[in-house]
């Protein structure tokens, strides 16, 4: 997948720039997304029942460990959030969104929370330390 068009703390959306010879569901130029799980073992009982999220060898998209010891995608580092003067927008201010705010603030980034619910401003700014808050429908 090429440069992401959109990213939040639990998914990445981008444009397909190349495909493998066995790929049938995507073509170059398609918009595609990656969820929070990118791998599982396949032959275990959970995998055979399409319950890959219970596979003991499930691989998380974010910071998961491949069998060779390498780590999976770490979006906050990938997008350079640890560098100075970065500003992150966090949409979908729920459980994962809360974590995104905490990690981004720990990296020293400026954080804006974007939510459809004005009632979440106090929690975002006062409790988690977001720098600003936007109401998405306003």
- Minimum distance from residue 48 beta carbon to Zn ion (Å): 8
Exposed, middle or buried, 137 (CB in 10 Å: 0-12/13-18/19+)?
exposed
How many whole angstroms separate alpha carbon 94 and alpha carbon 98?
6
Task: Give min distance, CB of 54 to Zn ion, in A.
Answer: 8
In angstroms, how far is CA 38 from the centroid of its own chain?
Answer: 12
Of positions 7, 9, 10, 47, contacts Zn ion by CB under 5 A? 47
The C-alpha atoms of residue 101 and residue 105 are separated, in whole angstroms, by 6
Largest CA distance in the chain: 51
CB of 55 to Zn ion, least distance (A): 3
Instruction: Give the number of residues in contact with Zn ion, rule: CB under 5 A.
Output: 5
Instruction: Determine the interface stretch with Zn ion among 29-37, 40-48, 107-115, 126-134 (rule: CB under 5 A).
Output: 40-48
Q: How far is the CB of 25 from Zn ion (least distance, A)?
A: 22
Tell me the CA distances in angstroms from 26 to 3, 16, 107, 122, one per residue in order.
16, 8, 35, 42
Q: Using the rule CB under 5 A, which residue among 41, 59, 96, 99 binds Zn ion?
A: 41
> Does 44 interact with Zn ion (rule: CB under 5 A)?
yes
Give the binding range for Zn ion (CB under 5 A) out of 2-10, 21-29, 53-61, 79-87: 53-61
**What residue ranges bind Zn ion (CB under 5 A)?**
40-41, 44, 47, 55
């Amino acid at each position: 997948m090429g440069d992401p068009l959109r990213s939040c703390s639990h998914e990445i959306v981008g444009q397909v720039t190349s495909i493998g010879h066995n790929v049938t569901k995507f073509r170059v130029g398609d918009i595609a997304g990656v969820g929070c799980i990118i791998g599982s073992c396949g032959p275990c009982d959970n995998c055979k029942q399409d319950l890959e999220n219970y596979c003991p060898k499930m691989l998380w998209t974010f910071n998961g460990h491949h069998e060779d010891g390498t780590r999976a995608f770490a979006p906050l580092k990938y997008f350079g959030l640890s560098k100075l003067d970065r500003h992150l927008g966090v949409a979908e201010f729920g459980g994962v969104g809360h974590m995104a705010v905490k990690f981004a603030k720990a990296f020293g980034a400026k954080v804006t929370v974007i939510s459809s619910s004005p009632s979440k401003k106090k929690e975002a700014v006062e409790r988690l330390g977001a720098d600003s808050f936007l109401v998405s429908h306003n």
